[in-house]
Structure 1
Amino acid sequence: MHDWNMRWGGAGMWFGPLWMIVWLVVIVAGVAALVRWLGGAGGDVRTTTRSAGDILDERYARGEIDCEEYMKRKQDIAGS
Protein backbone atom coordinates (compact mmCIF):
# COMPACT_ATOMS: atom_id res chain seq x y z
CA MET A 1 0.00 0.00 0.00
CA HIS A 2 0.95 3.59 -0.38
CA ASP A 3 2.51 5.48 2.46
CA TRP A 4 -0.35 8.01 2.61
CA ASN A 5 -2.81 5.15 2.94
CA MET A 6 -1.07 3.93 6.07
CA ARG A 7 -1.11 7.37 7.67
CA TRP A 8 -4.89 7.52 7.36
CA GLY A 9 -5.25 4.07 8.87
CA GLY A 10 -6.59 2.55 5.66
CA ALA A 11 -9.29 5.20 5.31
CA GLY A 12 -7.82 6.32 1.99
CA MET A 13 -9.74 3.54 0.28
CA TRP A 14 -12.99 5.34 1.09
CA PHE A 15 -12.05 8.69 -0.43
CA GLY A 16 -12.25 7.50 -4.04
CA PRO A 17 -15.80 6.11 -3.91
CA LEU A 18 -16.90 8.96 -1.63
CA TRP A 19 -15.74 11.61 -4.10
CA MET A 20 -17.31 9.68 -6.95
CA ILE A 21 -20.66 9.74 -5.15
CA VAL A 22 -20.29 13.44 -4.30
CA TRP A 23 -19.56 14.33 -7.94
CA LEU A 24 -22.44 12.16 -9.13
CA VAL A 25 -24.84 13.99 -6.80
CA VAL A 26 -23.49 17.37 -7.95
CA ILE A 27 -23.89 16.44 -11.63
CA VAL A 28 -27.42 15.07 -11.18
CA ALA A 29 -28.47 18.15 -9.18
CA GLY A 30 -26.97 20.42 -11.85
CA VAL A 31 -28.78 18.64 -14.68
CA ALA A 32 -32.07 18.72 -12.74
CA ALA A 33 -31.67 22.44 -12.06
CA LEU A 34 -30.86 23.10 -15.72
CA VAL A 35 -33.91 21.17 -16.93
CA ARG A 36 -36.13 22.97 -14.47
CA TRP A 37 -34.67 26.35 -15.43
CA LEU A 38 -35.25 25.67 -19.12
CA GLY A 39 -38.88 24.87 -18.36
CA GLY A 40 -38.86 21.14 -18.98
CA ALA A 41 -40.10 20.00 -15.58
CA GLY A 42 -42.99 21.95 -14.16
CA GLY A 43 -42.36 25.04 -16.23
CA ASP A 44 -45.89 25.06 -17.64
CA VAL A 45 -47.74 25.13 -14.36
CA ARG A 46 -50.75 27.41 -14.51
CA THR A 47 -51.34 29.53 -11.47
CA THR A 48 -54.78 30.73 -12.58
CA THR A 49 -57.88 28.57 -12.57
CA ARG A 50 -60.12 28.24 -15.58
CA SER A 51 -63.77 29.11 -15.27
CA ALA A 52 -66.55 26.63 -15.97
CA GLY A 53 -67.42 28.60 -19.11
CA ASP A 54 -63.86 28.30 -20.41
CA ILE A 55 -63.86 24.55 -19.86
CA LEU A 56 -67.25 24.23 -21.55
CA ASP A 57 -66.05 26.27 -24.54
CA GLU A 58 -62.98 24.05 -24.88
CA ARG A 59 -65.05 20.85 -24.73
CA TYR A 60 -67.36 22.17 -27.44
CA ALA A 61 -64.43 23.26 -29.60
CA ARG A 62 -62.87 19.79 -29.30
CA GLY A 63 -66.15 18.17 -30.33
CA GLU A 64 -66.69 16.36 -27.04
CA ILE A 65 -70.24 17.75 -26.77
CA ASP A 66 -72.75 18.79 -29.41
CA CYS A 67 -74.47 22.16 -29.81
CA GLU A 68 -77.57 21.15 -27.86
CA GLU A 69 -75.52 19.93 -24.89
CA TYR A 70 -73.35 23.06 -25.08
CA MET A 71 -76.33 25.43 -24.99
CA LYS A 72 -78.00 23.53 -22.13
CA ARG A 73 -74.87 23.59 -20.00
CA LYS A 74 -74.19 27.23 -20.88
CA GLN A 75 -77.66 28.12 -19.51
CA ASP A 76 -77.03 26.03 -16.40
CA ILE A 77 -73.79 27.91 -15.75
CA ALA A 78 -75.42 31.32 -16.32
CA GLY A 79 -78.27 30.43 -13.96
CA SER A 80 -76.02 29.45 -11.08
Structure 2
Amino acid sequence: MMGNGYGMGFGGIFMWLFWLLVIVGVVWLVKSFVAGNGGASGKGKSALEILQERYARGEIDQQEFEQKRRDLEQ
Protein backbone atom coordinates (compact mmCIF):
# COMPACT_ATOMS: atom_id res chain seq x y z
CA MET A 1 0.00 0.00 0.00
CA MET A 2 1.00 3.62 -0.50
CA GLY A 3 0.63 5.13 2.96
CA ASN A 4 -2.58 6.23 4.56
CA GLY A 5 -3.73 8.68 1.85
CA TYR A 6 -2.57 11.90 3.54
CA GLY A 7 0.87 12.15 1.97
CA MET A 8 -0.19 13.24 -1.49
CA GLY A 9 -2.92 15.62 -0.35
CA PHE A 10 -0.79 17.32 2.28
CA GLY A 11 2.21 17.56 -0.07
CA GLY A 12 -0.04 18.79 -2.84
CA ILE A 13 -1.19 21.72 -0.71
CA PHE A 14 2.40 22.78 -0.13
CA MET A 15 3.18 22.36 -3.82
CA TRP A 16 0.28 24.68 -4.76
CA LEU A 17 1.31 27.14 -2.06
CA PHE A 18 4.90 27.12 -3.30
CA TRP A 19 3.91 27.84 -6.92
CA LEU A 20 1.44 30.49 -5.83
CA LEU A 21 4.18 32.28 -3.88
CA VAL A 22 6.55 32.01 -6.86
CA ILE A 23 3.96 33.56 -9.19
CA VAL A 24 3.11 36.34 -6.71
CA GLY A 25 6.83 37.06 -6.30
CA VAL A 26 7.40 37.31 -10.05
CA VAL A 27 4.38 39.61 -10.48
CA TRP A 28 5.62 41.81 -7.62
CA LEU A 29 9.12 42.03 -9.15
CA VAL A 30 7.78 42.96 -12.58
CA LYS A 31 5.41 45.53 -11.09
CA SER A 32 8.13 47.16 -8.99
CA PHE A 33 10.51 47.20 -11.98
CA VAL A 34 7.94 48.90 -14.21
CA ALA A 35 7.01 51.39 -11.48
CA GLY A 36 10.67 52.22 -10.90
CA ASN A 37 11.11 53.04 -14.57
CA GLY A 38 8.41 55.66 -14.86
CA GLY A 39 5.40 53.46 -14.73
CA ALA A 40 2.03 54.67 -13.51
CA SER A 41 2.92 54.58 -9.85
CA GLY A 42 1.26 57.86 -8.85
CA LYS A 43 4.53 59.30 -7.60
CA GLY A 44 5.58 61.01 -10.79
CA LYS A 45 7.20 64.38 -11.16
CA SER A 46 5.18 67.47 -11.85
CA ALA A 47 5.38 69.15 -15.24
CA LEU A 48 7.28 72.07 -13.70
CA GLU A 49 9.89 69.73 -12.20
CA ILE A 50 10.41 68.05 -15.56
CA LEU A 51 10.72 71.46 -17.21
CA GLN A 52 13.32 72.54 -14.65
CA GLU A 53 15.31 69.37 -15.25
CA ARG A 54 15.26 69.91 -19.00
CA TYR A 55 16.50 73.47 -18.50
CA ALA A 56 19.22 72.30 -16.13
CA ARG A 57 20.40 69.70 -18.67
CA GLY A 58 20.54 72.35 -21.37
CA GLU A 59 17.83 70.80 -23.54
CA ILE A 60 15.95 74.12 -23.68
CA ASP A 61 17.15 77.71 -23.43
CA GLN A 62 16.04 80.33 -20.91
CA GLN A 63 13.50 81.93 -23.22
CA GLU A 64 11.78 78.61 -23.93
CA PHE A 65 11.90 77.71 -20.23
CA GLU A 66 10.24 80.98 -19.20
CA GLN A 67 7.54 80.64 -21.87
CA LYS A 68 6.70 77.09 -20.91
CA ARG A 69 6.75 77.96 -17.19
CA ARG A 70 4.23 80.75 -17.82
CA ASP A 71 2.07 78.38 -19.82
CA LEU A 72 2.08 75.86 -16.98
CA GLU A 73 1.18 78.45 -14.35
CA GLN A 74 -1.97 79.55 -16.23
- Please give the range of the TM-score, normalised by the shorter of the 2 chains: 0.3 to 0.5
Query: Highest Rg: 1 or 2?
Result: 1
- TM-score, normalised with respect to structure 2: 0.44
TM-score (ref. length: structure 1)? 0.42
Higher relative contact order (CA 8 A, sep 6+): 2
